[in-house]
Structure 1
Amino acid sequence: MHTTTLHTVTGPLSYEAVRGPALAHEHLALDLDLKGDGGAVLDPRRHGPSVAAELGALREEFDLSLVVELTCRGMGRDPGALAALSRESGVAVVAATGWYYEPFHTPELADASVERLTDTLVREIEDGFGGTGIRPGVLGEIGSHGDLPSEPESRSLRAAARAASATGLSVATHAQLGRGGLAQLELLTAEGLPPERVSIGHQDLLDDPGVHKELAASGAYVAFDTVGKESYQSDDVRLRLLLSLIEAGHADRALLSCDISRHGYLLTEGGQGYGHLFRSFLPRLRAAGVDDDLVDLMTRRNPLRFLTGASVEEI
């Protein structure tokens, strides 16, 4: 099953209209503040103007055309704010549904069957968020931590796979610190979801080229989606890992993004910003011999193929 239409927060969008690059894993409005220090927050009222300004500037300078916004249930999701940010910046935004990893699970997960969780997701995908009329266009970031998902994380992943199969959407995961991606993929595909409808998250935090190649060879997307988060991993290591994946013939499975998830990462607060991928990392990739066609593959065609299920030849 594949579609030519993306569900964005401002309505349907043909993938043919996406002419410039996409950021495959970002947050524009979220609240992950478990510590109470207010750091892991992007509050639309306080930080929205900075977010919109950054996106608008990237549209002007690099033709940024799409952001896949993976803030889901229990992460402070705000579809109305996403629609306002999209209109203000001129950048299309795809919103998400599903459940993050266990510390952020909402009470509805406590005793719900996979069937009930699937129904919840399918209903939101088909009817939209509350009464907003805004529909999710992806399931993500569906989370687990450790080498194997916990029992509630397994139910969440299985429900996401079933909802994806039922609606034609794809699944983007959160693999905490890059671990457990193969187990996530096994769970998702066991529910009948094709691997090409799966993106395994945060693989640039896992210094294991063998795992990356195994995921890519299966047909799944390998997300190098924390580019610029030097406190977790250096971009030197990310570059080495991505070049290894490309040299193995798997550029068609790579997704790239920055995963801005704290207001301290914004340019206005001295952070690397959403544009770090374009301003810093891609120039280094090009300097290492990666040509413009491969850059376009990884930053535009791959995200569109992931979201729609279309083939390389079609995009």
Structure 2
Amino acid sequence: MNSPLRTVTGPLPATAVQGPVLAHEHLALDLTRSADRAALLKARHAAAIADELADLREGFGLSLVIELTCRGMGRDFATLARISRESGVAVVAGTGWYHEAFHPAEVDGASVEELADALIEEIASGPGDDRVLPGVVGEAGSHGEAPSDPEVRTLTAAARAAVATGLSLATHTQLGRGGLAQLELLTAAGLAPQRISIGHQDLLDDPVAHRELAAAGAYVAFDTVGKESYQSDTARLRLLLALLDAGHADRVLLSCDISRHCYLVGEGGQGYGHLFRSFLPRVRAAGADEELIDLLTRRNPLRFLTGGDDGTAGSGTADLRDRAGKEALA
């Protein structure tokens, strides 16, 4: 983990991250459509978000947020930098393209080469006058069992840009579906599986698919923790324990994917801290020790970002459910 992290306030040694990392969040975005006007986190919400993150830094040691709002999603690097400075929590920002419904006009008719060049330029120089450099590619999206033709182009370009710049890549899947197809496409473009996180797998009740992704070397993102309207945390816990028991603790990423202002604590939502306040206590009750919690919440996301390997494969996974007892899986 020698490569510095590219944060919105400048380079940060990975060794400086001593506390947990939220591996897939949004701090500034605009996904509003006529049928959904609440998928919004704007500059006016920045103070409340910074307060939440500062509280998590004080209470749980939160050190870093991987912010995966990319092109066409209302990305706002200036607001990200403000939130990071006010909260004292480092933020890594993303680039790339979300799924087809949110592709900006620049995607239309552009070749893979043109799209990859655009990302490489942005990673090197930053967008506009913000002077903020993306530190991860994502969340690069598809919206079905297989990517559409435009999504094939944007995902392939994202993978080529990640290879060219040494960044890692995080994806969006539709309710967890299509992850294996994404992994095949991204690795065919030359990106190593350990530089790939397949998103929203906690929404897919398919332990076999999770094991296949992890066995191939990709990170399996359980990144919508607390979104009970999509999937219960009880089901998430069951799926997580199954993956841990299969020996893949070193391939799990955890986060909450806060993507609308009504999820903020100040508006009565679960907030960015749901992982720490609610879900991780249940993982501990299921038998996880602090070494395993640190692996899931700090070492794994750092290894994902840097492509490093800290030799922790399989740590803390043995017989987790047996130690927990059957009640943990109820």
TM-score (norm: length of structure 1): 0.98
Compared CA separation, residues 161 and 3, structure 1 to 2 (3 A)? farther
In the aligned structure 2, how far is the partner of 1:93 from the partner of 1:205? 25
Compared CA separation, residues 286 and 25, structure 1 to 2 (3 A)? same
Q: Which residue of 2 aligns with 1:288?
A: 286
Please show how residues 49-198 of structure 1 align to structure 2 within 5 Å: 49-198=47-196
User: Could you tell me the percent identity over the aligned residues?
Assistant: 70
The alpha carbon displacement at 1:132 in A equals: 1.5
For 2:48, the aligned partner's letter is S
For 1:192, the aligned partner's letter is G
> Any conservation in 2 of the 1:3–1:309 contact (CA below 8 Å)?
no
Q: Which residue of 2 aligns with 1:269?
A: 267
Secondary structure of 2:175's aligned partner: helix
Q: Which residue of 2 aligns with 1:246?
A: 244
In the aligned structure 2, how far is the partner of 1:309 from the partner of 1:130? 28
Secondary structure of 1:25's aligned partner: strand
The alpha carbon displacement at 1:36 in A equals: 5.7
> Any conservation in 1 of the 2:69–2:93 contact (CA below 8 Å)?
yes
For 2:28, the aligned partner's letter is A
The alpha carbon displacement at 1:3 in A equals: 4.9
> Any conservation in 1 of the 2:20–2:64 contact (CA below 8 Å)?
yes
The alpha carbon displacement at 1:44 in A equals: 1.4
Residues 45-103 of structure 1: CA deviation (Å, up to 9, x unaligned): 2x111101000000000000000000000000000000000000000000000000011
In the aligned structure 1, how far is the partner of 2:237 from the partner of 2:64? 23
> Any conservation in 1 of the 2:2–2:13 contact (CA below 8 Å)?
no
The alpha carbon displacement at 1:176 in A equals: 1.1
TM-score (norm: length of structure 2): 0.93
The answer to whether residue 305 in structure 2 is matched with residue 312 in structure 1 is: no
In the aligned structure 2, how far is the partner of 1:67 from the partner of 1:44? 17
Q: Which runs of 5+ in 2 are unaligned?
A: 314-330
Please show how residues 211-250 of structure 1 align to structure 2 within 5 Å: 211-250=209-248
Q: CA RMSD in A?
A: 1.2
In the aligned structure 1, how far is the partner of 2:176 from the partner of 2:34? 22
Give the paired residue count: 313
Q: Which residue of 2 aligns with 1:33?
A: 32
Residues 8-58 of structure 1: CA deviation (Å, up to 9, x unaligned): 00000000000000000000010000126530000112x111101000000
In the aligned structure 2, how far is the partner of 1:147 from the partner of 1:224? 18
For 1:130, the aligned partner's letter is G
Secondary structure of 1:176's aligned partner: coil
Q: Which residue of 1 aligns with 2:319?
A: none
In the aligned structure 1, how far is the partner of 2:10 from the partner of 2:240? 34
Secondary structure of 1:130's aligned partner: coil
Q: Which residue of 1 aligns with 2:328?
A: none
In the aligned structure 1, how far is the partner of 2:103 from the partner of 2:154? 9
In the aligned structure 2, how far is the partner of 1:3 from the partner of 1:38? 42
In the aligned structure 2, how far is the partner of 1:209 from the partner of 1:312? 25
Q: Which residue of 2 aligns with 1:298?
A: 296
The answer to whether residue 13 in structure 2 is matched with residue 5 in structure 1 is: no
Q: Which residue of 1 aligns with 2:327?
A: none
